[in-house]
Structure 1
Amino acid sequence: MTAAELLESPPEPGVLLLTFDRPATLNAISLPLQRGLDERLDEAARDDDVRAVVITGAGDRAFSSGYDLGELRGMSSEEQLEAMLEREELLWRYLRFPKPTIAAVQGVSYGAGTLLAACSDLRVGGPSTSFTVTAAKYGGANLTWILDTVIGAGQTRDLLMTSRAVAGDEAYRIGLLTRYADSGSVLDEAIAAATQIAAQSPDAIREIKSLLLAGQGSDLRSRYDRENTVARTALRPRSIGETFAGFFGTRPGAERKERS
């Protein structure tokens, strides 16, 4: 990967925008590009100035056309297997990234592009958006482990077993898109969502994402108890006066000073 293939910018305070800049290949994801994304997210995880990450593809034709087939074609069978195993770990690391991720899906999203989008916390699209899970076409299987938690079991069976393209309006209707830019910019809408997240307590957002990921497959009481434990411990409960200082028209700490 050249440095120019993964562009970055801070469009708003607290927001990191990462762009796959390979428009000639419809932003196909090479292994070096996926490694570069992982490395940049690892840095962002430790950067308190980054509170939300938006990922998109350059141009208006594609979010990503999937893995770079030209690169794969040049690999031996052993190299392809090694690449597949590495990519499995990189995708898992993306899912577990501790800060919110938002996929701005302008244009088509095939294969690995859809994998990344599905593993993002939010997905923003519009009329030009089109998702396809292509694995069944090639004798494979993808997203059986998570897509049903996003769009439900029935819709998941439809998408995975037919490999059909899902247009933006349908994707929004079934929950594959969380926000829909009907007439405006998909990227602008994604950045607006990231800005809203960045304005919240970073500790609370971190724990919310962690609780949601840990809760999948757990019974309801376990999820309830885990949330209550986190609220009492990791999020360090404050007094009512401090928590709702804005509502009461006081500054945090003022109540304690008055009592002293």
Structure 2
Amino acid sequence: MSYEHILTDLDNDGILTVTLHRPEAMNAWTMTMTKELVDMVEKADANDDVRAVVVTGSGERAFCAGADLSSGVDTFQSALIEDTDGLNNDDGTINWGHPGIRDTAGLFNLKVYNSVKPYICAINGVAVGVGVTMTLPMDIRIASDNARFGFVFSRRGIVPEGCSSWFLPRLVGISKALEWCYKGDVFLAQEALDGGLVNEVVPQEQLLNRAKEIARSFTQETAQVSIALTRQMMWKMLGADHPMEAHKIDSRAVYAQGQQRDAKEGIDSFLEKRAAVYTDKPSEHMPEFYPWWDEPDYG
């Protein structure tokens, strides 16, 4: 993968490291970065050699300092609207259903939300605005001891984006989510840890190695299809209104996976007291009912 505003590196363990790479601008978010990150998620999902994704930033000052504000207020005028045809109704009012009115962080976050790969975020410095909301659909967030966080939208006259009104309360609870968004201040890594936003805080020099260590713990002795299904079952069930919805999918998944090679290998390797060698791939061996949330009624 070759990009302008991000770097990618896939190691021999199947860990794809993605680095936001605008160090001269504290890795500030741009339209180019959006498109590249979306493309990265799509390509990582299609590549069975990618077992997990670690996202970090260039340098030691910032993970991502938020949106690039160099264009002034136009920054918030939905830069994704490249084709403005149909943006305004005949009476001059805005067509709020226009497909171009989509915030950029939301496009990336929805891609990650639907991904079949584990995502670990290594937050190596300042993460404010979109720099923090872009981390919310990732499975694990770890921070360096010099990281700082800020849901600063109320201090810029705008509102949280990146689907964060859905993600953030589920991660930290509604009261903490509102406290951080109401205040709009910048807080230290320890507060992020205490509030449940990050899983752990480590010294800056250990951050990336720790993120990769976590990634390998997810992938070295596990079945890829099991990981992919588990990720989607957990995330999608956050929106379920009854445990019966989880029971439906659990039942389908157990039945389907029980007929696959990986299940036989998992049992055989356990009984034979040896390491398992799983061969099923997400690109080929996801069960027939996947993705179940696209069905009109999966009951």
Cα 1:217–1:165 shift into 2, 3 Å: same
Q: 2:31 corresponds to which residue?
A: 31
Look up the SS of the partner of 2:215 in the other structure. helix
Shift of 1:235: 5.8
Decide which of 179, 200, 206 is 2:228's aligned counterpart.
Answer: 206
Q: 2:200 corresponds to which residue?
A: 179
CA displacement 1:7-57 (0-9 Å, x = unmatched)? 111245111001111111100011011101111221111100001111111
Decide which of 115, 125, 130 is 1:107's aligned counterpart.
Answer: 125
Contact 1:203 1:235 in 2 (8 A): no
In 1, Cα distance between the equivalents of 2:264 and 2:275? 7
Aligned residues: 251
Q: Is residue 2:146 matched to residue 1:128?
A: yes
CA displacement 1:162-213 (0-9 Å, x = unmatched)? 1122311221222211233257511111111111122221111111111122
Q: Is residue 2:237 matched to residue 1:215?
A: yes
- Cα RMSD over matched residues? 2.8
The farther-off stretch of 56-65 and 141-150 is: 141-150
Look up the SS of the partner of 1:221 in the other structure. helix
Shift of 1:128: 0.9
What is the identity, as a one-letter code, of the residue corresponding to 1:138?
Answer: R
Q: 1:49 corresponds to which residue?
A: 49
TM-score (norm 2): 0.75
What is the identity, as a one-letter code, of the residue corresponding to 2:238?
Answer: Q
TM-score (norm 1): 0.85
Look up the SS of the partner of 1:89 in the other structure. helix
Where structure 2 has 5 or more consecutive residues not aligned to the other structure, the ranges are: 82-99, 277-299
Look up the SS of the partner of 1:28 in the other structure. coil
Contact 2:28 2:65 in 1 (8 A): yes
In 2, Cα distance between the equivalents of 1:55 and 1:251? 33
CA displacement 1:115-134 (0-9 Å, x = unmatched)? 11112111111311111111
Identity of aligned residues (%): 22
Q: 1:64 corresponds to which residue?
A: 64
Look up the SS of the partner of 2:36 in the other structure. helix
Cα 1:237–1:40 shift into 2, 3 Å: closer
Decide which of 161, 178, 182 is 2:182's aligned counterpart.
Answer: 161
Poorly superposed stretches of 4+, deviation over 4 Å: 74-79, 237-242, 250-253
Shift of 1:234: 4.4
In 2, Cα distance between the equivalents of 1:239 and 1:144? 38
In 2, Cα distance between the equivalents of 1:109 and 1:44? 24
Cα 1:74–1:172 shift into 2, 3 Å: closer
Q: 2:109 corresponds to which residue?
A: 91
Shift of 1:114: 0.6
Contact 1:245 1:252 in 2 (8 A): no
CA displacement 1:205-234 (0-9 Å, x = unmatched)? 111111122212211232233223212114
Where structure 1 has 5 or more consecutive residues not aligned to the other structure, the ranges are: 254-260
In 2, Cα distance between the equivalents of 1:240 and 1:94? 27
Q: 1:116 corresponds to which residue?
A: 134
In 2, Cα distance between the equivalents of 1:152 and 1:116? 18
What is the identity, as a one-letter code, of the residue corresponding to 2:119?
Answer: T
CA displacement 1:116-168 (0-9 Å, x = unmatched)? 11121111113111111111112222122210111112211111111122311
What is the identity, as a one-letter code, of the residue corresponding to 1:32?
Answer: T
Cα 1:239–1:131 shift into 2, 3 Å: closer
